[in-house]
Amino acid sequence: MRVFKEKQNMMTWWMLALLLVIMGYQLYLYGTDLERLIREPSLWITVLVIILLAAMQLHTRYDEKGIYVRFLPFVWGRQISWDSIAHAYLRTYDISDFGGWGYRVGRQGKAYNAKGKDGLQLVMKDGSQLMIGTQHPEELKKIIQDYKPYTDEFE
C-alpha cells in the first residue's frame, strides 16, 4: 500500500531574513557593549522567536490506517481513520480563512498548517471539519484517491 509522509516547519526564508535583520540591528545598536546587549530583552525575544519557529513542525503520514498528524508543540499525535471521514478534498486557502498559520480555529473548523496555501479539507462524519496544510498537493491527491472517495470540491 502507498504511504505519503510530509514534514513542514513554520520558518520561511523571508521570516528568517527579517528576524536576522532585527537581530543585526540590535547588535549594531549595542556594538561592543556585551553586558548591555545580554541584558536587552528584545534580543532574547528575537532569539526565542527563531527557536520556536524552528521547533514548530507539522508531521503528517497518510497510509491504509488513515491520517496521522503531529504538530509540535500543539498536537502530540492524532490518528484520523478513513472511516471517520465523510469527504476529503484539496483546497486553496487564504490566510483570512483561519487567521494565520499554525494550530488554528476558524469559521471553517480547525486547521493545522505551517505555511503555504494548499491543504486537504476533511469533513468528518460528525460534521466537524479539519484542514491539514500541505506543500505537495498533487502527491497528496494521489494518496487520498487510493484510500478515500475523493471529491474535487465539497458542495
pLDDT band for 152, please (50, 70, 90 cuts). low
**Number of neighbours of residue 148 by Cβ within 10 angstroms:** 19
pLDDT at residue 105, rounded to an integer: 81
According to the model, what pLDDT value does residue 42 have?
84
Measured over the CA atoms of residue 128, residue 131, residue 142 and residue 154, the dihedral's sign is positive
The pLDDT value given to residue 151: 58
60-70 pLDDT, tens digit per residue, is 999 999 999 99
Task: Calculate the CA 59 to chain-centre distance.
Answer: 9
Average pLDDT (102-122) is 86
Rama region for 64: left / alpha / beta (φ>0; ψ in -120 to 50; rest) = alpha
pLDDT band at 123 (very low <50, low <70, confident <90, very high): very high
Single-letter amino acid code for the residue at 34: L
pLDDT band at 154, cuts 50/70/90? very low
Range 90-102 average pLDDT: 81
23 half-sphere exposure, CB direction, 13 A CA radius = 14
In terms of Cβ atoms closer than 10 Å to its own Cβ (0-12, 13-18, 19+), residue 110 is: middle
71-86 residue pLDDT tens:
887 778 899 999 999 9
**pLDDT of amino acid 155:** 40
pLDDT of 4-28, one tens digit each?
999 998 878 888 899 889 988 888 8
**Whether the model pTM is above 0.85:** no
DSSP letters along 90-135, please?
A: EEE--HHHHTSSEEEEETTEEEEE-SSSEEEEEEETTS-EEEEEES
Query: Which residue from 83, 79, 76, 57 is spatially nearest to 68, judged by alpha carbons?
Result: 79
